Chains A and B, each alone.
Chain A
Amino acid sequence: MINVVYSSEHWIMPTIVIGILVILLAAIIITEGLARKKKGEAFFKKAGKFFIDKADFVKLFGTLVLFIAYIALVDVIGFTVTSIVFVFLFNLLYTGFSKKAVIMSVVISVVASLTISVLFGIVFNITLPSGMLSLTFTDLGITFY
């Protein structure tokens, strides 16, 4: 029997689900602990390594930091310019600074960003993040994001 009261109705399901999650969590800890005990290990195992061996932390956290900066700036500066800069930076991060790699990175970032910007923003008329470097041509009715 559950008392359905209009004012607190929105908490019925979340409460039940949280209850189920707590029970499941307890079940996971107990069953896995007992399984370890059976094998002669401690009930609680030491936290395993989170990252893989030889993890590439520069690329991993570089991706995260670039991603955050990209999102933070894209609607301040405008889609096209921000994308050119960040697709270039992601490319550098993943492929390095050799002359050939850098040239390739420039080409990819400029071509890909312009293509997406024109195709989605102008041809398909999909809203893209706009900022101070976005241009609107009112008489043509188009925006270059």
Chain B
Amino acid sequence: MIGISQVLIALLGVVAGLVFGAIPGMTATMAVAVFLPLTYAYDLNTALYLLLGLYVGGISGGLIPAILINIPGTPSSITTTFDGYPMAKRGEGERALKIGIVSSFIGGIISLICLWLFTPMLSAAALKFSAVEKFLIILFALTVIAALSKGQMLRGVFAGFFGVLVSLAGMFSVNNGYRLVPSFLESKMQDGFQLLPVLIGLFAIAQIFEEAEEGMRFKIEKVKDDEMDGSKTHFSFKDFKGQGINVIRSALIGTFMGVLPGVGGSAASILSYAQAKNFSKHPELLGTGVTEGLVASETSNNGLTGGALIPLLSLGIPGDSTTAVLISAFMLQGVQVGPLFITQNPVTWNTILIALLVCNVLMFVCMFYPIKWISKIIYIPGQRLYPVIIMICLVGAYATKNGRMFDVWTLLVFGVVGYIFGKIKIPASCFLIGFILGKDLENYFIQAISAQKGSLMVFFTRPIGWVIWLMIFASIAYAIYDNNKSKKQTN
């Protein structure tokens, strides 16, 4: 299950992930998308080491530029800049980096434990689900999107349902009828748009268009040596004294936010930073370069990694865009994710846990000791990498269904769509979740009502169904409450 080649491939994943995470404008999702073609060549177990390595590395790398140059490398390290950068300004750059790395590691491990404990429980519960509950749980996933699209509730739901609509384009498996497809494309779109090119388009190509519009400026000022390590205060593990509760709270917030579909890492770290401030004995110091804020931010964004895998492996619902790529990796290998996943694939399940542990350890080893050299990643000129990324994305899209140019055009079209989404403030991650779940939503809905001769009452007669309805209404109520609150704040 684990050999030297798996560790090496995980190492490759972690380092490549770090590079993508550390370069502003490039994300963990992009890293996973770019390396996906490589996984076509490996078996599932080895591929998992690579993908999880990229994921962990990609999330962790973001702290380097956040601390050293005040630019978050990934959206989830926004709050790392609040306290990390002031520390670097004081000459404690290396100390801040090391605190961040240790926090990331602890966050990753705590979320791994949550993954290990809660996924089997959730799967067991989901096994009792009939088509009715499966339909409702997807509906719930779509309303949770709404609840967490801060101040953008309606746009979030709109994006989610728009994703559902786009996923329905193609042939319906029950009666082989085509819908939402122009007739000249019918032969190419039997099973609609492929997930992979849609995803890479939305999250990698769209990003490249945005960077191009901004002129591909990657001029990064050199970090002075005395900012890195000029102060007399050096890192020691004593820095974590008194941070125990903060660490656990932040890791759990990160994990929980990871579980909720469509919620990005930035929401997790912002929430946990806010909580650290609420509970702090000296809240006025947060933002001036204190350990507390840095720990809260970095523990929570690595907490996402395990959290986002929980709904993926137990319900088949991805927690974020990076784990959505994992779905396609599983599908390529013919493995179905859902409630039966653990019982049917116990070996793969163990591999995921071990791989995630190995990747977190590798991340720590690769970053903690050679941090002075690793931090030079931020000087890699992005404008030199993007052309190569475009080429690899083309390879990945082309190979999705064993070589079709149609999938490459899909890649470009969704790149443009993602770019336009960014302009008109439609959250692409919500669209993606809707797109992934759309076909299941339809199948379960048709199954449920066909059994009852079309009566919609079937959705209200089962007790587990009531519980999910309750959750749906609770999330809508929270969404409206939170939406009004954050609108007032902006006015």
State which residues 365-416 of B face A: CB under 8 Å.
381, 383-384, 386-388, 390-392, 394-395, 398-399, 402-403, 405, 408-409, 412, 415-416
A134 within 8 A of B: no
Contact with B along A51-74 (1 / 0, CB 8 A): 110111101101110011011001
| A28 near B179: Cβ-Cβ < 8 Å | no
A120 and B395 alpha carbons, distance in the complex (Å): 9
Is B178 in contact with chain A by the CB < 8 A criterion?
yes
- 1/0 contact trace for B451-463 toward A, CB 8 Å? 0011110000000
B350 at the interface (CB under 8 A from A): no
Asked whether A50 and B423 contact (CB < 8 A) given A14-B165, A31-B154, A74-B394, the answer is yes
Q: Could you say which residues of chain A place their CB within 8 Å of the CB of B408?
A: 71, 74, 129
Q: Are B177 and A11 in contact (CB under 8 A)?
A: yes
Minimum C-beta distance from A120 to chain B (A): 6
Which residue of chain B lies nearest to A87 when distances are taken between CB atoms in the complex?
B387
* A116 lies within 8 A of B175 (CB): no
B459–chain A nearest beta-carbon distance, Å: 11
Shortest A3–chain B CB gap in Å is: 5
Contact of B177 among A7, A60, A126, A129 (CB under 8 A): A7
Taking a contact as CB atoms under 8 Å apart, the answer to whether A25 and B158 are in contact is yes
A135 to chain B, nearest CB (A): 17
Among B165, B180, B384, B454, point to the contact of A104 (Cβ < 8 A): B384
Chain A count of residues within 8 A CB distance of the other chain: 64
Closest approach, in angstroms, between the C-beta of B42 and any C-beta of chain A?
A: 9
CA A63 to CA B387, docked complex, whole Å: 10
Q: Which applies to chain A's interface (DSSP): helix, strand, loop or mixed?
A: helix
B240 at the interface (CB under 8 A from A): no
User: How long is the Cα–Cα vector from A25 to B155 in the complex, in angstroms?
Assistant: 8
With A31-B154, A60-B213 as given contacts, are A13 and B441 in contact (CB-CB < 8 Å)?
A: yes
* B215 touching A56, Cβ below 8 Å: yes
Nearest-Cβ distance from residue A78 to partner chain B, whole angstroms: 13
Task: Please tell me if the beta carbons of A10 and B178 are within 8 angstroms of each other in the complex.
Answer: yes
Q: Once the chains are docked, how many angstroms separate the CA of A24 from the CA of B180?
A: 20
Taking a contact as CB atoms under 8 Å apart, the answer to whether A21 and B158 are in contact is yes
* Interface check B162, CB cutoff 8 A: yes
- Nearest chain A residue, comparing its CB with the CB of B178: A10
Residues of B within 8 A of A17 (CB): 161, 164-165, 168
B214 interfacial by beta-carbon distance below 8 Å: yes
Residue A20 CB within 8 A of the other chain: yes
- Take A13-B446, A28-B155 as given contacts and tell me if A126 and B40 are in contact as well, using a CB distance cutoff of 8 Å: yes
B411, closest chain A residue (CB): A71
B454 touches A4 (CB 8 A): yes
Set of chain A residues within 8 Å of B388, measured between Cβ atoms: 87, 108, 112, 116
Q: Are B216 and A94 in contact (CB under 8 A)?
A: yes
* Across-interface contacts of B423 in A (CB, < 8 A): 50
Looking at the complex, which one of B157, B212, B416, B446 makes contact with A56 (CB distance below 8 Å)? B212
Residue of A17, A62, A86, A120 with highest tally of chain B CB at under 10 A: A17
Contact A12:B446 (CB < 8 A) given known A50-B423, A129-B403: yes
Contact with B along A16-43 (1 / 0, CB 8 A): 0110110011011001000100010000
Judge whether A140 is part of the interface by a CB distance below 8 angstroms. Answer: no
Secondary structure class of chain B's binding surface, majority of residues: helix
Contacts of A59 in B (CB 8 A): 212-213, 215-216
User: Which residues of A lie under 8 Å from residue B441 when comparing CB positions?
Assistant: 13
**Chain B residues numbered 146-192 whose CB sits less than 8 Å from any CB in chain A:** 154-155, 157-158, 161-162, 164-165, 168, 171-172, 174-175, 177-180
Let me know if B248 is at the binding interface, CB within 8 A: no
Given A4-B450, A55-B213, is A129 in contact with B168 using a C-beta cutoff of 8 Å? no
Q: How far is the CB of A109 from chain B (nearest CB, A)?
A: 7
Whether B398 contacts A128 by the Cβ 8 Å rule is yes
Q: How far is the CA of A83 from the CA of B453 in the complex (A)?
A: 55
Shortest distance between the CB of A19 and any CB in chain B (Å): 10
**Contact residues in B for A10 (Cβ distance below 8 Å):** 171-172, 174-175, 177-179
Say whether, besides A6-B175, A14-B168, A25-B158, A83 and B456 are in contact (CB < 8 Å): no
Pair B209/A9 contact, Cβ less than 8 Å: no
Please give the distance in Å from B269's CB to the nearest CB on chain A.
25
Q: A144: CB under 8 A from chain B?
A: no
Give CA–CA (A18, B169) in the complex, Å: 12
Enumerate chain B residues within 8 angstroms of A57, measured Cβ to Cβ. 213
The reply to whether B399 and A24 form a contact with Cβ atoms under 8 Å apart is no
**Distance between A63 CB and nearest chain B CB, rounded to angstroms:** 4
List the A residue with the shortest CB-CB distance to B40.
A126
Query: Which A residues are CB-close (under 8 A) to B455?
Result: 1
Please determine whether A24 and B412 come into contact, CB atoms closer than 8 angstroms: no
Set A63, A112, A120: member contacting B208, Cβ < 8 A: A63
Bound-complex Cα distance A60 to B416 (A): 11
Determine which of A7, A14, A112 lies in contact with B175 in the assembled complex, contact meaning CB atoms within 8 Å.
A7
**How far, in angstroms, from A112 to B391 measured CA to CA in the complex?**
9
Contact A4 B446 (CB under 8 A): yes
Kindly identify which residue among A6, A35, A91 contacts B487, using a CB–CB cutoff of 8 Å: A35
* 19 pairs, CB–CB < 8 Å, chain A vs chain B: A1-B454, A1-B456, A2-B449, A10-B179, A59-B212, A59-B215, A67-B205, A70-B394, A71-B408, A75-B405, A86-B390, A91-B387, A94-B383, A116-B391, A127-B398, A127-B402, A128-B395, A128-B398, A128-B403
- Give the top 6 A-B pairs by smallest Cβ distance, nearest first: A10-B172, A90-B387, A124-B41, A10-B177, A56-B215, A127-B403
Beyond A3-B454, A67-B390: 8 further Cβ-contacts under 8 Å?
A10-B174, A13-B442, A24-B157, A24-B161, A60-B209, A79-B395, A128-B403, A129-B398
